[in-house]
Amino acid sequence: MPAQNLPDMERLTSQPSPALVPGTSKSLEALLPFASFFNMLVEFVALLLAGFLSDGLYHWIVYQEPPSELWLLNGVSAATIFVLMQASSAKYSISFILTRTPAQSHLVRDWMITFSIVLAFSFLSQYTIDQSRGAYIVFGILGLSTIFLIRKLTSLVFERAVRNAQLITRNIVLVGTRTEIQRYYTNERLWEKGIRVAASLTINPDLTSNPNDKSTPCDLWINHNQLQISLPSLDGVTSYLRQVPVDDIVLALPWANVSAIQNILDKISSLPCAIYLAPDLALDYLKSSIGGQNTLTNALMDPQSGLTGIRIARRPLTPLARLAKRSFDIVAAALGLLFLSPLLVLIAVLIRLESPGSPIFFQKRHGFNERPFYIIKFRSMVQDTSTNFTQTRQNDARITKIGAFIRRTNLDELPQLINVLLGSMSLVGPRPHALAHNDAFMTKIAHYANRHHVKPGITGWAQVNGWRGAATEQDQMAARVEHDLQYINNWSFSLDLKILFFTFFSKKAFTNAF
């Protein structure tokens, strides 16, 4: 019996405000790199132990002598090569282990390659003269047996954790007609992979028959609090899904309904999720027509997520990349605050001496996934009690003397190191715009909302290319958004370091600073 049932679609409630929808518990996806690393470490140590036992047992039984001095070199070499080969193809991911337990041919292949490399190295370096060939043979057999044993035990541990609802690898949203959602959920046996359906969006079949009808109603089921929301159209669904921690979205719709799929993609593409197109029902015959092999599922299986389907949109950063970026942010921001604290105090004092009011001010902005947060900045203008937003202009009379200096040198942004430590911002990313700008340009510039697929940054690719300061015209904002999307779609750790370097040493980074 599945550990998780699909929601009862007949249960309806009144339509609440998106802000009142409690979110589900956070998925463990951010912790998965640690689990994968632990798997790697266990297998590395096990292979090292297998190298010692094979060498020691052989020499003790055959020659009644202690192990040779080469067991450590062979064990470390074999363990390193094998673990790196498996890790490079995501074989240590929990989703892969849960999904591909019966298929162990890759273990035999990679171990044979590893063993061949160790033998070749030993032969070329003439180490085989000092070690018996029998010890190598025992190591080859014992090493492979150890790999099978460790992988089986790991699989059993994870499977037990999934059955007891102690392990959730991903939170997903299923989108489609009720029949298609039920078929995908049942066929793919998501509960066995630790994949939880955090929400499901049931599309009225009329949408698939008449995709041009934008007013077709749909039902959104939020699994955590057993709440179903009836929506008059797809227009409001994004606001609700932002309240639910979601890793992936699966579109369970017939591939022939191109217009319906495109209509849904237009509504949900602004969410920072991977999007999959589930296998078409018409292709189900391939699962049993070729010798009973499930070749279609194997071909469409994503080893990282454990989901079956064509991935038509990926998450901007992998869990490992997010971990690396966040670790760097914490270390760099903490060191920055520590070493720059005298400068921060000096600037605060000078601001307070020149004009009354707090030297720090907080302004509400949208961060990752359009979640609101308060950005922290040094006050560079005279204190204004008005709640209306007014874009800063060149030679703005509100800017103080010290304010003009810290704006020109970007020192007014330094308090945002606190935002970085708190996790609402990153050192590098798209600059968070004022809410008035978001409201003004969200519907005018294509893919504007995709800026929120990553955390906002203190500096960014647009800023070091001269697109900073006031953006009153649509073409100016469009250029800034274009650079932001270039950064998101081409992120790498080296790109972050490059942007940080240009922030300090590029003239373009100080363009339009006023």
**In the prediction, which pLDDT does 345 show?**
94
pLDDT digits (tens, 9 = 90+) for 98-150: 776 445 778 889 999 998 998 888 777 766 555 677 778 888 899 999 999 99
What does the alpha-carbon distance between residue 442 and residue 437 come to, in Å, rounded to a whole number? 8
**pLDDT for 360-386, tens place per residue?**
989 899 998 888 899 999 988 887 655
Q: Are 177 and 202 in contact (CB under 8 A)?
A: yes
In Å, how far are 161, 350, 375, 458 from 360, measured between CA atoms? 48, 12, 10, 16
Separation CA 407–CA 514 (nearest Å)? 6
Would the pLDDT of 20 be above 70?
Answer: no
pLDDT at residue 314 greater than cutoff 70:
yes
In the chain, the amino acid numbered 10 is E
Residues 12/227, Cβ–Cβ less than 8 Å? no
Chain position carrying tokens 């489609």: 176
Reply yes or no on whether the pLDDT at 402 is more than 80. yes
Mean pLDDT of the chain: 80
CATH number of 18-27+168-313: 3.40.50
Q: pLDDT for 471-491, tens place per residue?
A: 667 777 888 889 999 999 889
User: Which is nearest to 191 in space by CA: 222, 219, 170?
Assistant: 170
**Above 60 in pLDDT, residue 226?**
yes
Q: Which sequence spans correspond to the domains of the chain?
A: 18-27+168-313, 29-163, 319-510
Determine which helix (DSSP H) or strand (DSSP E) holds 265, and give its type and residue range: helix 258-268
